Each structure stands twice: as structure tokens, then as C-alpha cells.
Structure 1
């Protein structure tokens, strides 16, 4: 059973439209290893050819979404595991280094923020 509520990655951006003229101006995001018309398309974008256009970068970001979510989940687990074995002094030192590094926030570990982003990405209501 698919554990995801979305098409599992990896995804990639393809410029393989049947019409070569259209292929230059159209990007399709779909799972790696699939072909056009397999019914696996995630999204299609027409790429504007004006200065400062960000469509190609947006397509690449969308294609990276499953990998980003996977890495965020791993980082969330690693941080929780590290916190579980740290002494109170080590946790205080970690917080101080985060503040010195410009990462001062309400939560030293940002666990709630990570959980919120994971919930948003997976469509799970918190």
C-alpha cells in the first residue's frame, strides 16, 4: 500500500513535448522513469520567455519536493534522537551556538515548525 498521499519521488522536470517548438516553452514534472502520457504527470508549466522569469526554477523546486520532505523527516528524527541523549548543559550550549549563528527563535529545536511543515506537505491536519 502506498504510504504517501502524493506520488512518491523522485520527480524531475522534462522538456519532451511531442512538438519541439512547444518542448522549449513547456515543462512537465513527473516521476523519474515515466514517459509522457503515462498518466503520472504531477504538473505542467508554460515557461515565459521574459527577463526575470522564474518558471523553470519553480519547476525544479516542485520536482525536488519529495526529496526535500524525505530529508526534512530524517533531520527531524536525527535532532530528536540527539536531544534525547544530550545533557542539560549540552542543550544549553547548543541553544547558545544557535543564537550566535543568528538562529534565535522561540524554539531552540524548531520541532514544532518542522512538524507544521511536514503536516502541510503531507496534507495532514494538526
Structure 2
């Protein structure tokens, strides 16, 4: 596997609960991986009701849309913050699967493939090795 070029993990998410309501992903070494403003908040607004008032939104649907947009943005930030750990786990799983395959007989490998195929887990290979390799390459910049 190639050497990581990204900031070291684990990363954590820092969510400001007051103005300016920023979301920051911070690396283990203190690097700011990313910082973004919350999408529904603007200058000086303290709450979702302030946002609604400032933007002229009066109906419940617009308020619900703004709340949903903020929830989606927060969920996306949490996923990005988990990226280094997800990559490390994928790389470990890739090695574990390869090790397991090296211990299996051809018949065992065929049985494993059939089980995975019945579970709709495979595409063009019994272990999805190509798919894992492609995602790892994409994440490490090797793609």
C-alpha cells in the first residue's frame, strides 16, 4: 500500500454551536483538514429561526428544508471526518481477504464465491478485490 499523503488520522469534527456556526475537521496533529460554514446560517444569525427571518422564509416547509440541509451537511462532515479510519480499515480488510484466499482450496474459494453471489455482494470477482483496489487508489491518489 502506498504511503498516506493526507493529514494523519484520526480526524475529528468540531461543530461550532454559535456564530459563525462553522464545521471544522481537525487532524490528529492539529491540522485543519477542512472548514466550512453551515449552509443555512448567515452573518450574525443565532438560530434557525433567525435564519428564517433573515431570509424571509415564513412557511414551515422552508424551515424544514433549512433544517434538513443543515442535518445533511453535518452528516457529510461526519463521514469526511471518518475517512482516514475508513481507509485504514478497507486496506486491512483487503489484506485479510487476500490472506484468507491463500489458505483456501480451490473448492473452498468456489463455495465462498457462490455464497457471496447469492448475497448479491459480487460483481466481476468473488472477493471484490478490483473494487477495493480502485477505492484505495482513489483515496490515496494512486488512481
- Structure 2 segments unaligned to the other structure (5+ residues): 41-65
Tell me how far apart the structure 2 counterparts of residues 78 and 9 of structure 1 sit (CA, whole Å). 21
Tell me how far apart the structure 2 counterparts of residues 5 and 106 of structure 1 sit (CA, whole Å). 30
Cα deviation for residue 48 of structure 1 reads 2.5
Q: Does 1:21 align with 2:12?
A: no
Q: Structure 2 length normalisation: TM-score?
A: 0.73
Q: Does 1:48 align with 2:39?
A: yes
Q: Does 1:5 align with 2:23?
A: no
Q: Structure 1 length normalisation: TM-score?
A: 0.83
Q: Does 1:69 align with 2:87?
A: yes
Larger radius of gyration: 2
Please, what is the CA RMSD of the aligned residues? 1.7
Tell me how far apart the structure 2 counterparts of residues 112 and 83 of structure 1 sit (CA, whole Å). 15
Tell me how far apart the structure 2 counterparts of residues 80 and 55 of structure 1 sit (CA, whole Å). 36
CA 1:6–1:33 in 2, change beyond 3 Å: closer, same or farther?
Answer: closer
